[in-house]
Amino acid sequence: MSEFDLDLRGAEEQLESDEGTPEIVLGVLDGSTDPAEWVETVENGNALCLAIDGDLNRLASGFAREVKDAGGTLMRFRGFLIVTPDGVSIDTDRL
């Protein structure tokens, strides 16, 4: 076998960062998180899957309108609120 020189430090620097990659963010919707934080998370292209702990209408009132106005989608599924950013649809065909 031939030997080769692999510079791992140099390779690490060349790898693309995961920063900016959309994620599904799990959380609890119980009123303890500032609604602006949920809006910012969705505006950054992430989806939310929030366990509902309380009255959904009251808990989501601080961010639902802003998310919808920005093109996002909100849907209650069982005990969860699913929130997606603009351009990400929720497929309900199998429900």
What is the set of domains in the chain, with CATH numbers? 22-84 (3.30.110.150)
- Cβ–Cβ < 8 Å for 49, 82: yes
What number of CA atoms fall less than 13 Å from residue 33's CA on the CB side?
21
Per-residue pLDDT, 16:
59
Q: Is the pTM of this model over 0.75?
A: yes
What tens digit of pLDDT does each residue of 21-55 get?
899 999 999 999 999 999 999 999 999 999 999 99
